[in-house]
Structure 1
Amino acid sequence: MKLRLKIITCLLCLISFFSNAQVAEFNYKRSIEGVADQWHKVMLPTEIFSKVSPQLNDLRIYGITSENDTVEAPYLLKKLSGKHTSKEISFDLLNVSKNTKGQYFTFKVNAAEPVDQITLDFEQENFDWQVSLEGSQDQKEWFTIVDKYRILSIKNPETDYAFTKISFPNANYTYYRLLIKTSEKLSLKSAKVIKNDIVKPVYNNYRIVRSTVSEDQKSNTTIVDIDLEMPVPVNYLKVEINEGFDYYRPMAIQYLDDSVKTEKGWHFNYQTLGSGILNSIETNEFSFNDNTIQKLRLRIENRDNEPLAIGKISLKGYQYELDARFTKDADYFLAYGGNIRKPSYDINHHTAKIPADLATLQLGKEGIIDHPEELKASPLFENKAWLWGIMILVIGMLGWFSFRMMGKE
């Protein structure tokens, strides 16, 4: 019986050690305050992104119970990137007419549904036209939806650009009349009437600590270098241009990947994050895939044009949240920063059962997780396979001795 008690004690100590070893795999922690329900959400602060893996694999929610046991709360990681769906609305082109104002196209939609966009495709190229759009229920009384809206096409060996999308607030009419203010005889290849449903993304706005503008005279390129306060995931850029004339400039969006010190100084290696066209028609907003960066560079091709006056620059990144389930009474904390695989939780397969409205928990200040030297000096216990092997061996021994004692009794 004494031997049995010793084995049980050894097993409990080993389990406790293994639980602490789980936490020790991470470098940082923040206390989680206000757990009161089974489900809560935790918003990830921007400060942690420089300390976690790009895939956010190394995030865990642990709790310490009153019995000093370590428990783990499962979570669903959500990127608040929003959602955009488009639906084409069936319509008929009723008539095409022309007068001194321009050319008219009248559409009749075949369902009583709101619309917020019409896209056009013309046979013509290289145009710059103003359009107006009206709506009516009976073709007798017309109401202005948009006026002096600009559509544009540029086609040459260097450029192939078209902006022929007319966007407007939700409108619900049976008839839509489009006036294109030109004396040309137009040939409309196709048109689409669209309803967009948009769940807006939730962004973090990042503070730019420094931005510089320089000119590469050899390539006639404007270079804009942007420094952020800390490494953060960026996927949105807006560039304001302080000019009163029309412009069209290709632009590359780059980020600093690494740097090497040489005898001649530092050499900076930039990688392309995305590209786009700075132009006087659209809002010059650009979206691209997440990348954790601190230094950004814009390369604007001026070609044979004078450089543009660069105005305000805005950078944003999607917010991330953890929808977590708490089933035990414990003091919980968020552990992060470690070389560890992505967790696999059941709740990732049952997301429909997670409540829609969750109370937000507050995170405390960042703390550093201690890594005892004796644990680091023992390569045997740094490997989880050894720990599991020892636990299985002890459990097997305990079972064997239990059956022996039962046989003797």
Structure 2
Amino acid sequence: MEIQIKNRKAMRKLLIIVISLLITDSLFGQGYQWQAEVEKNDSSGFYKVDLNPSIVSKLNSQFYDIRIKDEKGTAIPYFLEKEPFSVTKRVFKEYQIIEKIKWRNGATVLVVENQHKDTINNIQLQIKNFDVRKRLELAGSDDYKNWYTIKENYTFRVADGQHTTSEVKSLNFPYTDYKYYRIVIYDWFSLPINVMKIGYYDSYKEEGKFTKLEHSTIERFDSVKTKETYIKVNFQEKPYFDKLVIKADEPTYYYRNAKICIQRKDKKGKTHYDVIDYITLNSNSDFTSYFSDFKYEDFYIIIENEDNPPLEKVSIEAYQLNRYLITHLELAKKYKLVFSNEEIQVRPNYDITHFKNKIRDDIPLLTTDNISTIRYKEKKKKTTSTLWMWSAIGVVALLLAYMSYKMISEMEKDK
């Protein structure tokens, strides 16, 4: 009897091992499921490959499972870049020097015109390198006759541009909007310094570039009982959107509290709505909410109507911040992207990631085309799985026969 129990335990262990092998085979060997052709490049160099939403939505949540390959199937090093929501940029705007004279006391006078009367708080002077002490003052005028002081006793002690023959010096002051600015540089005890350009730095905010997501479906239900509108938004794949815009055309004036939720059911089958964000919809403007790679394929917008009629003609738009694959491509070679691979869970380790700041921002942009499934991968997977399955069944059958024989033999001995 004891031997029979041991044999049964051994059979259980064997079955567990075989099942584990079958499960392992179903999990691994998947390979890349999709591919897309990369637009032909016209020279060797660095390029941005645009990853449109149809590609991004097929990647895993870390965006690790994508590669770019050449005609021979060799993987090319790359790194991914995503547009920021916004970035503050500075641009140098040069003024025309309308007068440059020398006063009798030895001072150099420079007058520039702020043609559009922009409001500014700085003037930049590009000056040839020097190593002397200079005192400056700044005045402003709207009619070129009456001058008003802005700031006095600026001091420049040295201009030493790193690895260049000039340096930009700043005159900072409170915001003003004069049409003319007069800069006086006192040269009492030395020759004048060489002012090459005069201008100012203007700062502005540049919004990131978005792409609208397509192929979403919207269902709605107005509940009289709860006085709420339930709007279900469904995407066929993970949307990874960064911006959500909600619009309603009717009524003319409205102000409604709402929430963005994920639906789930508990063990008893009861439906719950987990709130991701509380929002307010009103007729003054379209509602815009920002996320970071929102991954849920299905979500709900629940609008509290109170005693008001439900909103009509509600539209919902989702947008992804643009993503790019940055890589170095060779002329006269064809490239393609392969992506969506369950086996890949870690970021590829390429040297190029250490040199991101060496690559210009204005490199050419390439698009992708002809997104298609990789058919041969599926065929290979099916054949391999079939062989494993029949082999495992054969092994189990043989072992069961052997174990049965052993058990019968032991039982005969016990008799």
TM-score under structure 1 normalisation? Answer: 0.51
Q: Which amino acid aligns with 1:289?
A: S
State which of 272, 275, 280 in structure 1 corresponds to 2:278. 275
Residues 145-181 of structure 1 deviation map (CA, whole Å, 9 limit, x = unaligned): xxxxxxxxxxxxxxxxxxxxxxxxxxx9659xxxxxx
Q: Which amino acid aligns with 1:251?
A: A
Residues 292-326 of structure 1 deviation map (CA, whole Å, 9 limit, x = unaligned): 34433211122344433343332222221111113
Q: Which amino acid aligns with 2:289?
A: F
Q: Which amino acid aligns with 2:231?
A: V
Provide the rounded CA distance (Å) in 1 between the counterparts of 2:176 and 2:313.
Answer: 41
SS in 2 for 1:41: strand
Relative to structure 1, is the Cα distance of residues 34 and 271 closer, same or farther in structure 2, using a 3 angstrom cutoff?
Answer: farther
Q: Which residue is 2:314 aligned to?
A: 311
Do the aligned partners of 1:34 and 1:362 also contact (CA within 8 Å) in 2?
no
Provide the rounded CA distance (Å) in 2 between the counterparts of 1:261 and 1:73.
Answer: 48
Provide the rounded CA distance (Å) in 2 between the counterparts of 1:306 and 1:27.
Answer: 47
Q: CA deviation at 1:212?
A: 3.0
Q: CA deviation at 1:275?
A: 3.0
State which of 35, 38, 44 in structure 2 corresponds to 1:29. 35
Q: CA deviation at 1:78?
A: 1.3
Relative to structure 1, is the Cα distance of residues 285 and 329 closer, same or farther in structure 2, using a 3 angstrom cutoff?
Answer: same
Do the aligned partners of 2:240 and 2:292 also contact (CA within 8 Å) in 1?
no
Provide the rounded CA distance (Å) in 1 between the counterparts of 2:273 and 2:35.
Answer: 32
Give yes or no for the alignment of 1:326 onto 2:329. yes
Relative to structure 1, is the Cα distance of residues 337 and 63 closer, same or farther in structure 2, using a 3 angstrom cutoff?
Answer: same
Q: Which amino acid aligns with 1:354?
A: I
Q: CA deviation at 1:33?
A: 4.0
State which of 366, 372, 388 in structure 2 corresponds to 1:366. 372
Relative to structure 1, is the Cα distance of residues 281 and 366 closer, same or farther in structure 2, using a 3 angstrom cutoff?
Answer: same
Q: Which amino acid aligns with 2:51?
A: L
Residues 62-117 of structure 1 deviation map (CA, whole Å, 9 limit, x = unaligned): 2244xxxx532111211123424499xxxxxxxxxxxxxxxxxxxxx88369xxxx
Q: CA RMSD in A?
A: 3.9
Q: CA deviation at 1:286?
A: 1.6
Provide the rounded CA distance (Å) in 2 between the counterparts of 1:42 and 1:218.
Answer: 51
Spell out the pairing of 1:213-228 with structure 2 (5 A cutoff): 213-228=220-235
Q: CA deviation at 1:57?
A: 0.7
| Percent of aligned pairs sharing the same letter | 21
Structure 2 residues not aligned, in runs of 5+: 1-27, 91-118, 124-140, 143-174, 179-201, 389-415
Relative to structure 1, is the Cα distance of residues 84 and 255 closer, same or farther in structure 2, using a 3 angstrom cutoff?
Answer: farther
Give yes or no for the alignment of 1:42 onto 2:49. yes
Relative to structure 1, is the Cα distance of residues 225 and 362 closer, same or farther in structure 2, using a 3 angstrom cutoff?
Answer: closer
Relative to structure 1, is the Cα distance of residues 321 and 228 closer, same or farther in structure 2, using a 3 angstrom cutoff?
Answer: same
SS in 1 for 2:247: strand
Provide the rounded CA distance (Å) in 1 between the counterparts of 2:271 and 2:337.
Answer: 35
Q: Which residue is 1:291 aligned to?
A: 294
Q: Which residue is 1:118 aligned to?
A: none
Do the aligned partners of 1:274 and 1:288 also contact (CA within 8 Å) in 2?
no
Relative to structure 1, is the Cα distance of residues 112 and 305 closer, same or farther in structure 2, using a 3 angstrom cutoff?
Answer: farther
Q: Which amino acid aligns with 1:301?
A: E
Q: CA deviation at 1:232?
A: 2.4
Do the aligned partners of 1:49 and 1:292 also contact (CA within 8 Å) in 2?
no
Provide the rounded CA distance (Å) in 1 between the counterparts of 2:272 and 2:56.
Answer: 21
Spell out the pairing of 1:106-185 with structure 2 (5 A cutoff): 111=121, 174=177
Structure 1 residues not aligned, in runs of 5+: 1-21, 88-108, 114-136, 139-171, 176-194, 379-409
Residues 120-165 of structure 1 deviation map (CA, whole Å, 9 limit, x = unaligned): xxxxxxxxxxxxxxxxx98xxxxxxxxxxxxxxxxxxxxxxxxxxx
Provide the rounded CA distance (Å) in 1 between the counterparts of 2:122 and 2:294.
Answer: 43
Provide the rounded CA distance (Å) in 2 between the counterparts of 1:61 and 1:203.
Answer: 23
Larger Rg, first or second structure (1 or 2): 2
Provide the rounded CA distance (Å) in 2 between the counterparts of 1:284 and 1:297.
Answer: 15
Relative to structure 1, is the Cα distance of residues 261 and 328 closer, same or farther in structure 2, using a 3 angstrom cutoff?
Answer: farther
Count, aligned residues? 253
Relative to structure 1, is the Cα distance of residues 246 and 206 closer, same or farther in structure 2, using a 3 angstrom cutoff?
Answer: same
Residues 31-50 of structure 1 deviation map (CA, whole Å, 9 limit, x = unaligned): 33414322122112322344
State which of 326, 346, 355 in structure 1 corresponds to 2:351. 346
Provide the rounded CA distance (Å) in 1 between the counterparts of 2:208 and 2:84.
Answer: 4
